[in-house]
């Protein structure tokens, strides 16, 4: 009677024993890498309805972030500017540019421009810009070098572990309060010590407990 299992099956346990841990490790590693926001989210660069260039406005022209995102110091959201803000300049500058057709339409009809959201947190995470600005966390720390982006892309994973990394040790991410929107300020060369900064009335003390961000 022929054997039920052919002879090569004798090697199966050996192969499983030898390759199992490798496969398992690879699967875990693959999920770790490819399923993390670091891979899935960072670099997200959707096409926007208007080809607005931060590199031009914030970079070359050197406009302050807060000229447009003017609620960032007082509110949770750094509001996307109203069309009227664009038209402050563009009623004078490049008034016939085809790229600005949607902006002019919006201004005339009152219809909103449908920007695509890039920095998107889950609804149960209540991020608030205001205390971060007040603490001296630079725009560039979370949003990257916006001043060099022709089209904005996501530069950080915005995952909970990424948030907590800074909340547990904020000092390396702090800068002088007047340099928050300064894209060129370099923490590596600045050698900034927040505890010795007389402009600060309090030292930062970011929450690490659940209700700090979840309500």
Partner 1 sequence: MSDTMKHPRHWRSLDELAEASLDTALAAGPEMAAAQSADGAAEMTVDGVSRRQFIALMGASTALAGAGLEGCIRKPVEHILPFANRPEYLVPGKPVFYASSYQLGATVAGVVVENQDGRPTKIEGNPDHPASLGAASSFAQASVLGFYDPERSRTPWHKDAAISWDAAWAAFEEGIAPARASGGEGLALVVDSVMSPTHRAQLAELKRTLPKARIVLSDRLWPAQAVAGAALAAGPKAVAVPSLADAKVIVVLDGDVLVSEGDSTRHARDFATGRAVDVPKPDMNRLYVVGPVFDATAAMADHRLRVRASEVGTVLRGLVLALLDTPGVGSAPGADGLKGALGTPALDEKRAAFVKALARDMVARKGQAVVMTGERQPAWVHALAHVANSLVGADGKTVSWRRDSDALEGQSLSELKAGLDDGSVKTVVVLGANPVYDAAGDLGFAASLAKASFVAHAGLYRDETGAVAHLHLPLAHYLEAWGDVRSQSGVASLVQPLIAPLYGSPSSIELTARVATGQATPGYDIVRAFWAKAQGGSLDERAWRRWLHSGLIDVPVGGEAVTPSYGELAAKIPAAAPAADGFEAVFALDSRILDGRFANNGWLQELPDTITKLTWDNAALMSAKTAGSLGVTPGQMVRVKTAAGELELPAWVAPGVAENTVILPLGFGRKNLGSVAASAGFDVYPLTSSASAGFSAATVVKGAGFYDLAVTQTHDRMEPGFDYPARPLVREATIDHFREEPRFVEKAEIMAAEKIRSPFKSPEFKAPQQWGMSIDLNACTGCNACTMACNAENNIPVVGKAQVLKGREMHWIRIDRYYVGNEPDEPQAVVQPVGCQQCETAPCETVCPVAATTHSPDGLNDMAYNRCVGTRYCANNCPFKVRRFNFFNFNLDIDPVAQMQKNPDVTIRFRGVMEKCTYCTQRISEAKIAAKVAGTDVVADGTIQTACQQTCPTGAIVFGDVLDPNSRVSRQKASPRNYVMLRELNLVPRTSYLARIRNPNPELV
Q: Which is nearer to partner 1, 71 or 156 (CB)?
A: 71
- Verify binding: residue 209, partner 1, rule CB under 8 A: yes
Residue 120 lies near partner 1 (rule: CB under 8 A): yes
Beta-bridge mates of residue 174: 137
Nearer to partner 1 among residue 123 and residue 191 (C-beta): 123
Minimum distance of partner 1 from residue 28's CB (angstroms): 18
Residue with tokens 């979840």: 214
- Sequence-distant (6+) residues with CB within 8 A of 197 are 176, 177
By C-alpha distance, which of 78, 170, 162 is closest to 128? 78
Round to whole Å and give the CA distance between 12 and 17: 8
List residues bridging with 137 in a β-sheet: 174
C-alpha 90/C-alpha 116 separation (Å) is: 22
**What would the x/- binding string for partner 1 be over residues 96 to 115, using CB under 8 A?**
----------xx-xxxxxxx
Q: Which of residues 122-161 bind partner 1 (CB under 8 A)?
A: 122-124, 126, 128, 130-131, 133-135
Segment 58 to 97, residues that bind partner 1, using CB under 8 A? 71, 73-77, 79-84
Q: How far is the CB of 74 from partner 1 (least distance, A)?
A: 6
Treating both helix axes as pointing N-terminal to C-terminal, what angle do 83-90 and 101-109 enclose, rounded to 10 degrees? 120
Q: Kindly state whether residue 164 participates in binding partner 1, applying the rule CB under 8 A.
A: no
90 close to 103: Cβ distance less than 8 angstroms: yes
Using the minimum distance from each CB to partner 1, give the nearer residue, 16 or 76.
Answer: 76
**How many chain residues touch partner 1 (CB under 8 A)?**
48
C-alpha closest to that of 63 among 146, 143, 165, 122:
146
Q: Which is nearer to partner 1, 59 or 136 (CB)?
A: 136
Candidate ranges 15-23, 117-125, 162-170, 183-191; the one touching partner 1 (CB under 8 A): 117-125
What gap in Å lies between CA 93 and CA 90, rounded to an integer?
A: 5
Instruction: List residues binding partner 1 (CB under 8 A).
Output: 35, 40-41, 46, 71, 73-77, 79-84, 106-107, 109-117, 120, 122-124, 126, 128, 130-131, 133-135, 201-202, 205, 207, 209-212, 214-215
């Amino acid at each position: 009677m022929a054997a039920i299992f052919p002879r090569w099956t004798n090697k199966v346990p050996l192969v499983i024993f030898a390759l199992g841990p490798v496969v398992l490790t690879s699967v875990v590693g693959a999920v770790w890498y490819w399923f993390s926001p670091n891979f899935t989210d960072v670099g997200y660069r959707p096409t926007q309805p208007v080809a607005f260039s931060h590199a031009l406005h914030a970079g070359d022209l050197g406009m302050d972030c807060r000229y447009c995102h003017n609620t960032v110091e007082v509110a949770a959201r750094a509001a996307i500017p109203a069309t009227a803000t664009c038209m402050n300049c563009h009623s004078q500058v490049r008034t016939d540019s085809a790229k600005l057709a949607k902006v002019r339409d919006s201004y005339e009809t009152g219809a909103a421009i449908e920007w695509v959201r890039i920095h998107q947190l889950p609804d149960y995470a209540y991020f608030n810009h205001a205390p971060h600005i007040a603490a001296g966390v630079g725009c560039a720390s979370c949003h990257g070098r916006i001043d060099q982006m022709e089209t904005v892309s996501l530069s950080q994973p915005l995952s909970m572990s990424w948030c907590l990394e800074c909340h547990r040790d904020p000092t390396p991410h702090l800068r002088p309060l007047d340099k928050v929107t300064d894209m060129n300020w370099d923490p590596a060369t600045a050698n900034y010590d927040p505890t010795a900064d007389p402009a600060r009335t309090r030292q930062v003390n970011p929450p690490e407990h659940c209700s700090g961000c979840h309500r």
